[in-house]
Amino acid sequence: MSRKNDRIEQLIEIIKNNNVGSQEELLKMLADKGIFVTQATLSRDLKMLKTTKVPLDHGSYAYMLPDATIAKMNAGGRRAVDFSRHVSNGFISLEFSNNIGVMLTRNGYASGIAYDIDMLNAPEIAGTIAGANTVFIVLREGVSHEKATEVLSMILPVNKL
């Protein structure tokens, strides 16, 4: 494995498992793992991973990976993604009206979750529009709410809906 791949994997693990709010914290955590990079390199890595900073309940911020960026292709060519972080990191509820799903999230999490939904490339979903705490999910014509829920269950805790 190349140094860059190792660095990226470590960066993903750090962000996924910690509430890290600054590049300085990330640099220290990487250094603790024996990975020494400049702030400019870290900044490029964060941009490549499409990380965003989201507000936490207690007023601070933390980096988030929009699609968990753990989207590695498995042998079948489909994404093997860990979306379980959304259970604790923002998803609140989902309801439908005709061909529109309305999802509520914690403030600041809607765009990351919408991105995850879009990355499913599910034929049942035409697209999403995200605000700060709401995602509108547009279903294609003829898609039942049950089928949409089944598709979304790949990334959301729909069994709690």
Q: Which of 10-19, 48-57, 64-73, 83-92 has the highest mean pLDDT?
A: 10-19
Higher pLDDT, 88 or 37: 37
pLDDT tens, 45-62? Answer: 988 887 888 777 677 888
The answer to which of 64-68, 84-88, 109-113, 135-139 has the lowest mean pLDDT is 84-88
What is the distance between the alpha carbons of residues 62 and 25, in angstroms, rounded to a whole number? 11
Cα dist from 16 to 5, 8, 128, 160, whole Å: 16, 12, 24, 23
Three-state SS annotation for 44-62 = HHHHHCCCEEEECCCCCEE
